Amino acid sequence: MRLARIAGIYFKVNPLFLLLCIIYSLMGLTQEILTITGSVLIHEIAHTVTAIALGIRIAEIELFPFGGQAKIEDFTGLDPEKEIYVALAGPVVSLSAAAIFYFLVANPGDTNRGLFVNINLLLGCFNLLPALPLDGGRVLRAVLAQVTGYKKASEKAALMGKIIALCIIAYGIYLTWLNFTGANFIVIGIFLFWAANREGKFLAYTFMRFLVHKKAELSRTGILPARQVVSNPETRVKEVLSHTRPNYYMLVAVVDSNHHVTGFCSEAELIECLFEKGPGACLRDC
């Protein structure tokens, strides 16, 4: 369900999150769910502003109880260093908001203020866990991607997400057995496990969507403008792909030191190479 469009980015609410909001409202916890939703929106807007500042195009953001999930418009927007900055922006803003309201805002006995502080504190700390799709998991993936490539890094970070989710569910079951207070942990754990499982497939989906868009344009018009560039085998794939755009297809002619053409690489082959081998991959690897 789409909530709004801000700076060309659609904000969506996950159906399970919407169901949770309805249940909380029926239980008379409307104030709590509004505070949670507002805190999550602030968290995601921080990601969005940082992404825009770094030139990363985000198509939409889906809201979960523990934060959100940004869908990048094209595969080439994924850069490990930039992803770290974007990922950390949310927790930093959430923790800053908690600190500001705790130390600077008057009327310390205000229960609404205390709720806002606690939710932002939990949101910031929880998202720093090294597990996809949490922000800490994105940082972990960005670090691993520089060694193993995006695909393997995503798989490892998503696995961490599932492990942590199972631990949270187990803790919730223990609290429920002990004193019936673990329902929230069980719900959050189930959300996290489901999202981690989906995140493991997210990059493949992004890659395919980018290629399908180009294929659809070619089918629709019968012709797609192309741009041919020349490069040597040692040039990084990431640097070559930084010149691609959605409205044309790029072909790369690879030349040796004597300026003899040794081969051609299509845009799809370049993206797949970057996807498999990470940002350190060179044209020679393709």
**Which amino acids are annotated catalytic?**
44
Cβ atoms of 258 and 235 within 8 Å: the answer is no
What the block records as the tokens of 15 is: 């159906």
What the block records as the tokens of 247 is: 């409205």
Q: Which helix (H) or strand (E) holds 71?
A: strand 67-72
Distance CA 34, CA 36 (A): 5
Read off the amino acid at residue 32. E
Omega before residue 133 within 30° of 0, cis: yes
Distance CA 91, CA 121 (A): 9
Q: Which residues pair with 23 in a beta bridge?
A: none
